[in-house]
């Protein structure tokens, strides 16, 4: 079965596009649309797409990105629970809000700390040929995913930055369908940023999915 999923479906700009890349592409776009709408369905879709990308990235020796997908799956379980049952510090239901200035600095510091740690781990324990470039979006994605789980607006600019770096990484590896996906993700993250900024400015809980 895995052999079938990793088999080329067609070629794009001289590089093969596998069936698993196509499936993960579709699931990922659906996931981001659900995130816009603050629909908890986004989280099981995140788990499914992450599993697909874990297999794809490992096949291309992008071990940081592959390992990240399992972190995504674990965080998705937590994020799903947060969106269904989570509360703010004051006990009110979790709502779309902005980080405090201190929270923004903490997010940046966490990314700055994780980046070299992940890069050094990739250099020591894998045969990655792009350890530092692989580690940067990996670190940023972990932080962005936690912010998303807590419904913080700043998850969207974090995803914009992660997606831009990821476009360069995947272009270098010739994963052209994934390059297109992450370029689309960049635009979608900008749209999500705008939508959630409006929700936060309104000061009301995010709408429940129909």
pLDDT tier for residue 88 given thresholds of 50, 70 and 90 = confident
Indicate whether 33 pLDDT > 60.
yes
Give the DSSP letter of residue 204: S
State how far the alpha carbon of 106 is from the alpha carbons of 6, 44, 101, in Å.
Answer: 39, 28, 9
**Tens digits of residue pLDDT in 130-156:** 889 889 998 999 899 999 999 999 999
Total structural domains within the chain? 1
Inside any domain, residue 102: no
pLDDT tier for residue 92 given thresholds of 50, 70 and 90 = confident
pLDDT of residue 120: 93
Q: Across residues 61-86, what is the average pLDDT?
A: 86
Number of residues that make up the chain: 210
pLDDT tier for residue 42 given thresholds of 50, 70 and 90 = very high
Inside any domain, residue 97: no
Indicate whether 206 pLDDT > 60.
no
Inside any domain, residue 101: no
Distance of alpha carbon 84 from alpha carbon 127, whole angstroms: 40
Inside any domain, residue 63: yes
Inside any domain, residue 135: yes
Give SS3 for 201: helix
Q: Which domain holds residue 41?
A: 2-9+16-86+107-202
Inside any domain, residue 210: no
CB-count exposure of residue 6 (10 Å: 0-12, 13-18, 19+)? middle
Inside any domain, residue 96: no
Inside any domain, residue 207: no
């Amino acid at each position: 079965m895995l052999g079938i999923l990793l088999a080329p479906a067609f070629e794009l700009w001289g590089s093969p596009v596998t069936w698993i890349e196509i499936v993960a592409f579709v699931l990922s776009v659906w996931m981001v649309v659900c995130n816009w709408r603050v629909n908890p369905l986004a989280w099981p879709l995140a788990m499914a797409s992450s599993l697909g990308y874990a297999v794809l990235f490992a096949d291309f020796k992008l071990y940081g990105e592959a390992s990240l997908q399992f972190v995504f799956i674990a965080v998705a379980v937590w994020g799903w629970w947060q969106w269904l049952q989570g509360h703010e510090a004051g006990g009110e239901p979790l709502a779309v809000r902005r980080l405090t200035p201190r929270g923004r600095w903490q997010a940046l510091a966490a990314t700055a700390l994780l980046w070299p740690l992940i890069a050094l781990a990739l250099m020591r324990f894998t045969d990655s040929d792009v350890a530092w470039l692989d580690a940067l979006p990996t670190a940023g994605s972990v932080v962005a995913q936690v912010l998303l789980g807590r419904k913080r607006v700043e998850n969207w600019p974090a995803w914009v930055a992660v997606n831009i770096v990821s476009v360069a990484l995947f272009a270098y590896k010739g994963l052209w369908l994934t390059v297109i996906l992450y370029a689309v993700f960049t635009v979608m993250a900008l749209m999500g940023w705008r939508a959630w900024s409006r929700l936060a400015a309104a000061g009301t809980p995010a709408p429940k999915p129909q």
